[in-house]
Amino acid sequence: MIKNEGEFLNNFQPSHTLINKLTTIYQLYGETSNFEKYYRKELEKLANVAKIQSTDSSNRIEGIYTSDSRLNKIISDKVESRDRDEREIAGYRDVLSLIHENYRYMSITKNTILSMHNMLFKYAGDSWGGHFKDINNKIIAKYADGHEEVRFNPPDAFLVPELIDGLCKQYNEAFERGEISPLVLSAAFVFDFVSLHPFRDGNGRMSRLLMLLTMYRSGLEVGKYISLEKIIEDSKESYYDVLAASSVGWNENQNDYAPFVNYYLGVVVKAYRDLIERIDLVHNHKELKANKLIPQYSQTTIQRNLKQLRDEKKIQSVGKGKNTKYVLSQNTQND
């Protein structure tokens, strides 16, 4: 449960593993700090890919799908959504763009959270978009084999507005004091938000959007270029496991944040390493496997897009069969 005022994470004792991950993150941050100066075009391309991946993965985690071709058109705002899944995908696209473009001006408050939720569901036509839940709910874990299980019973609906107010206030005060790493605060904030489960629907997606917002406001913008949501989707069972582990005792103020915080920091470490790897691949004109060049798509879509890129002479193939790799053409490299 949310701690009393002024006690947010006061009793949290970081392990050596957690400290090592934080150290690694800030080392990697240092390595990438000049990327925007020297690799602007490469970052723009990565940002476009990350936006597609993030929108796709965060919705897929919740069982919301569309085809690759429809997804691209929805992200580009070139097509009207044709069903509920696509309307919810379009809403996520809009909130993600809002955060990318305006995070510096988005304070961590109850009103910000409600506005984000309203935007998330603005195309879905639900009357409760932008409103806290008015009925009690449960946190359900959905596993790859299709089975579901109740993971946690959140606080009752009537308590939510006050608890969200308290969570935002405690986060902001702790952030201003500067005694705890902003990344650890971000992880704890996201975990408490998920545990409150303040909305009828969209809690998981909102938690991942708030992860990005709090990270960006802390000066760590790797999620613009590498999809954190995709990393979470790829490790979804671990994600549910650490949520369950850190939930034990939450309602009694006796939970252990460490499992979730360690997982969260691991996601950030992977994102920075992926960013460095992809910039290195593109900048140094190294050979790329198809799934590195277009990592978010199915094999069928990859092959179709690779053929188009070859026809446009933007890439060249090297080798045959399973050993086929691709390199950027000289003209593309110089664009």
Two tokens at 73? 């058109």
- The yes-or-no verdict on residue 321 having pLDDT over 80 is no
Quote the pLDDT of residue 291: 54
The one-letter code for the residue type at 162 is E
What residues are designated binding site for ATP?
201-208, 239-240, 253
Two tokens at 114? 């409600």
Two tokens at 41? 């075009």
- The yes-or-no verdict on residue 257 having pLDDT over 60 is yes
Question: Nearest Cα to 73, choosing from 64, 61, 82?
Answer: 82
Two tokens at 304? 């179709």
Q: What does the mean pLDDT of the chain come to?
A: 87
Domains of the chain: 16-284 (1.10.3290.10), 287-335 (1.10.10)
Give the model confidence (pLDDT) of 46-104 as tens digits: 999 999 999 999 999 999 999 998 999 999 887 888 899 999 999 999 999 999 999 99
Question: Nearest Cα to 295, choosing from 238, 226, 220, 237?
Answer: 226
- The yes-or-no verdict on residue 243 having pLDDT over 80 is yes
- Per DSSP, the three-state class of 77 is coil
Query: Which carries the bigger pLDDT value, residue 308 or residue 22?
Result: 22
Quote the pLDDT of residue 307: 67
Q: Please tell me what DSSP assigns to residue 3.
A: P
Q: Which residues are known catalytic residues?
A: 197
Quote the pLDDT of residue 151: 81
Quote the pLDDT of residue 323: 63
Q: What is 94-135 written as a DSSP string? A: HHHHHHHHHGGG--SSHHHHHHHHHHHTTTTT-TTTTS--SS
Question: Nearest Cα to 228, choosing from 255, 259, 267?
Answer: 267
As a whole-number percent, the residues of the chain with pLDDT over 70 amount to: 83
Q: Over range 271-288, report the average pLDDT.
A: 81
d(CA 140, CA 145): 14
Quote the pLDDT of residue 10: 61
Quote the pLDDT of residue 281: 83
Quote the pLDDT of residue 5: 42
Question: Nearest Cα to 99, choosing from 2, 193, 219, 224?
Answer: 224
Quote the pLDDT of residue 60: 95
202: left (phi over 0), alpha (psi -120 to 50) or beta: left
Q: Over range 167-176, report the average pLDDT.
A: 95
Phi, psi of 103 (to 5 degrees): -60, -30
Task: Give the confidence band of 305 by pLDDT, cuts at 50, 70, 90.
Answer: low
Question: Nearest Cα to 265, choosing from 151, 192, 188, 170?
Answer: 188
Q: Tell me if 198 sits within 8 A of 247, measured CB to CB.
A: no
d(CA 72, CA 106): 27
What residues are designated binding site?
201-208, 239-240, 253
d(CA 287, CA 309): 15
Give the model confidence (pLDDT) of 75-85 as tens digits: 988 788 889 99
Quote the pLDDT of residue 6: 45
Give the model confidence (pLDDT) of 115-163 as tens digits: 999 999 999 988 889 999 999 998 887 777 888 888 889 999 999 999 9
